[in-house]
Chains A and B, each alone.
Chain A
Amino acid sequence: MPHIDVELERLKTKLLEMWDLVEYQLQSGREAMLTADQELAKQIVKRDKKVNQFDVKIDRMCENFFALFTPVAVDLRMVLAVLKINANLERIGDTAEGIARFAQKFETPVHSDLLELTQAIPMYDEALAMFAECRVAFISNDPKLAKAVIKRDKTLNKIYRKSDAVATKFMQQNPDRISEALALLSIIKKLERVGDQVTNIAEEVIFYREAKVVKHKQDKKKKKD
């Protein structure tokens, strides 16, 4: 294998390691939220430092790669994509940490009626599924799959948009559980951000495979309408 490919492969492997870690963080966040497991939440917060280390390391690897190999064309787009995916993964990692911090506030697990009403669990699952699928799209260089991932973001947005009204209603009915509802609302907001970040990552996969810029396309369409 040519030297440049060896180095690219190393870069990709490193990024996937980080990806796995972030995915694990996100999954743990879900569990911590549902079980109000203080210990688990603490671990998540602690592990975020590791995510940040990955972020720094991959940034440095990309810098070296640019400096030593002066990549062009597909190689250039690949490294640019890795750089941006890295940034997004780091943010998702931060989000997982944020969720864990909220979970630390829960004294008891969130009530199932509230979860039911806000559809928080299906939302969380959808976000995790998108994240996993995006990873597959990246590994298999599959822009089609990436496009499918982008479309799934709508589900998250829908749940998020409804959540305000649902939570307000719940809080009016259960004034004693306002703080719990607020925390859950924040988590839902964070999950919505995760959806956006996964979308960004998927856009980078499309960019690197097809050299097409897909982000901000929808904004333009909307303006035309």
Chain B
Amino acid sequence: MTNSEKNRLKDKAFQVFGIFCTFIGLVVLGIFLFDIILEGAKRIDWDFLVSLPSRRASRAGILTAWVGTIWILLLTTIIAFPLGVSAGVYLEEYAKKTKLANFLEINISNLAGVPSIIYGLLGLEIFVRQMRLGSSLLAGALTLSLLILPIIIVTTREAIKAVPRSIRDGSFALGASKWQTVWHQVLPASFGGILTGIILALSRAVGEAAPLIVIGALAYVPFTPSSPLDEFTVLPIQIFNWTSRPQEAFLTNAAAAIIILLIITFMLNGIAVYLRNRQQKKIKW
């Protein structure tokens, strides 16, 4: 066998190996989805969506859970969006390259890696106890906001960084101030990217159970929340709760709830992909 034949064989072998690796993840996900859908699809109907939780599996629904999830999503967005984007803009556009800025930067990256349960503990101490918000939607949203803030800051910075220096120069050269440049040029041009980041961050928040459990979100809430200070539950907690029951029927309920949760997550991801594509089509540097 000549050298070049050997090389070609190696090349082929690696290609096959690569395909195998790529598919492992997809196959596992596929099996999981298949299993879940097989188990839970038959349980999903209108009643399941609009019924309150119950001790009897066949009568239990997820109304309070998904309404709670939507509440949490909205509140988290309202809190985390302005904070995260502002912080990102500050760090990228205004902050001088000082030691303090470096310190901030490293720590924001670190925050993104902190386990979510730690945020739960933080939220419990600050929001639930110190601020006396109790185990309310607001406390939960604040906690989740903390959790996704680093992600939003990082993606905002990335999106802002993608706006070419030349656009800023062009704006400055026409006499625009820093704020005018950010407001008229940088933010509009990077908005798609920022939005994508926020939605991806939200789709992470939507699946979190641990920090909310820590701050005391309930598994059993017999009413839909009507104000940010109400107690609440969310889908992941409901699922967690049901899977820990011994009865087979509750497991089916859990599977059905997982399908709903996945649909919400996929929808959020879908919106993110759509926005990113539209942005890329609109602006070519």
Q: Touching in the complex, A and B, CB below 8 A?
A: no
Interface residue ranges, B against A (CB under 8 Å): none
Interface residue ranges, A against B (CB under 8 Å): none
